[in-house]
Amino acid sequence: MHVGKSYRLSEFVVWTRREIYILLAWGLVPVGLYQLLGLKWLAIPWTVAGLIGTATAFIVGFKNTQTYNRTVEAQQVWGAILNASRAWAVMSRDFLKNGDDARQLVMRHIAWATALRYQLRKPRLWESMHGSANAEYQAFYSIPEREAPLESELAKYLSADELAYVLAAKNKPTRLLGLQSRALKASYESGAIPINFFVEMEKGIKEFFDYQGKSTRIKNFPYPRQYAIISTIFVRAFCVLLPFGLLKEFDALNLVTTGWLRGYMIWFVVPFSAVISWMYMALMQVGESTENPFEGNANDVPISQISRMMEIEMRDLLGETDLPPLLQPKNGIIL
């Protein structure tokens, strides 16, 4: 997530520069054929290009709206996880008679959030991080889940036996919530927690299962591929046809132009078609980078920072003072 005022135009241009190069090179093709080889029949009516551009704008706008909604939903889920975690820390502190048991519940919960965010950062085939522009941009920010192994992170919160038990699981967050329920049951059976408190905290575990399920649903079910491909096809078709639709328009400007530009106005098709096409390509690229809010993109939901905030507040509620610092943004980006 970008926490600065905005991306700079220079950053955005660098991020999309490959598309700019391609669009400029493609713009030279129809102009060269039209002007140098005299293939005047290549020009198509501007109305055709305009209609395709209008349809493409609607499709790209629809896609970007839906991908933005996926990011908003992810933000809401992790905001709810943070709030529910605060309540879990308070219940653990006040419901259990044994302070060590309460601390174990809190630390195990932090381990659950850690395992969940590591699970969400695992790459998927349909994600956009493998793209050259996004892969290159990763040098400008940090992805905490790729800087330290999960085992070393979980070791901060779990005993050696629990760590080995969790690491052996295919779904580590689920196993951690199972451990939480088992620990609560043991506390209830030993009389350390009354039944009404036990039931209330079990409801909390169910709530965390719900949030985990919502997060993994967003992660594992991509934006529908049929909508993604039709958007890409329309944008590329528009970018291909646009310079052909501008040929006659700019050629006609020679009739009203004087001076040294007279006879050369047709060459302005190259920069103008590139600029217009770039706007569509950039919108499409922004939508693609918003599709998957947990992939490690610069525009991701900052689940690592939320997890750190959760740890600080939960341990503070237990009265601890040796707390870890908040993560710091790198080049205005924090995950």
d(CA 24, CA 21): 5
Going by pLDDT thresholds of 50, 70 and 90, the confidence category of residue 293 is: confident
What pLDDT does 333 receive? 80
Per-residue confidence (pLDDT) for residue 258, from 0 to 100: 65
What torsion do the CA atoms of 8, 10, 15, 18 make, to the nearest 10 degrees?
A: 160
- The band of 261, judged by pLDDT with boundaries at 50, 70 and 90, is low
Mean pLDDT value of segment 185-207:
87
Q: What percent of the chain has pLDDT over 70?
A: 97
Q: Kindly report each contact of residues 189-197 with a partner whose C-beta sits within 8 Å and lies 24 or more positions away, as own/partner.
A: 192/96, 192/97, 192/98, 192/101, 193/95, 193/96, 193/97, 197/91, 197/95, 197/96
Token pair 């052996």 is found at 168
How many Å apart are CA 233 and CA 200, to the nearest integer? 52
Span 199-256, pLDDT tens digits:
888 899 999 999 999 999 988 888 777 777 888 888 888 888 888 888 888 777 777 6
List beta partners, residue 2: 333
User: What is the rounded average pLDDT of the residues 172-193?
Assistant: 88
- Whose tokens are 């060459």? That residue is 267
pLDDT attached to residue 141 = 79
Long-range contacts of 305-311 (CB under 8 A, 24+ apart): 305/1, 305/334, 305/335, 306/78, 306/79, 306/81, 306/82, 307/110, 307/113, 307/114, 307/117, 309/82, 310/81, 310/82, 310/85, 310/86, 310/110, 310/113, 311/110, 311/113
Q: What mean pLDDT is reported for the chain?
A: 84
How much is the pLDDT for 257? 65
pLDDT at 116 (0 to 100): 92
Contact 61, 284 (CB under 8 A): no
| pLDDT(176) > 90 | yes
Confidence of residue 284 (pLDDT cuts 50, 70, 90): confident
CB atoms within 10 A of CB 104: 21
Element holding 312 (H helix, E strand):
helix 303-317
pLDDT at 1: 75
pLDDT of residue 55: 85
pLDDT > 90: what percent of the chain?
16
Q: How far apart are CA 119 and CA 99, in angstroms?
A: 30
Q: What is the pLDDT of residue 191?
A: 83
CA distance 129 to 136: 9
Radius of gyration over every alpha carbon of the chain, rounded to an integer in angstroms: 27
The DSSP line for 248-294 is: HHHHHGGGT--GGGTTTGGGGHHHHHHHHHHHHHHHHHHHHHHS-TT
Give the per-residue pLDDT at 259: 64
Q: What local confidence, expressed as pLDDT, does residue 256 receive?
A: 67
Between 178 and 282, where is the model more confident? 178
pTM of model > 0.75:
yes
Of 310, 299, 290, nearest to 3 by C-alpha is 299
SS3 assignment, position 333: strand
Residue 37 has pLDDT above 80, yes or no: no
Predicted confidence (pLDDT) per residue in 153-173, tens digit:
899 888 889 889 988 888 999
Instruction: Please list the residues that pair with 333 across neighbouring strands.
Output: 2, 330
Q: Which of 99-108, 126-135, 212-221 has the lowest mean pLDDT?
A: 126-135
Residue 263 has pLDDT above 70, yes or no: no
The answer, yes or no, to whether residue 135 has pLDDT greater than 80, is no
Q: 5: which residues sit within 8 A by CB, 6+ positions away?
A: none
How is the chain split into domains, by residue range?
9-317
- Range 23-32 average pLDDT: 85
- Residues contacting residue 281 through CB under 8 Å, at least 6 positions apart: 16, 19, 23, 235, 239
Q: Are 141 and 335 in contact (CB under 8 A)?
A: yes
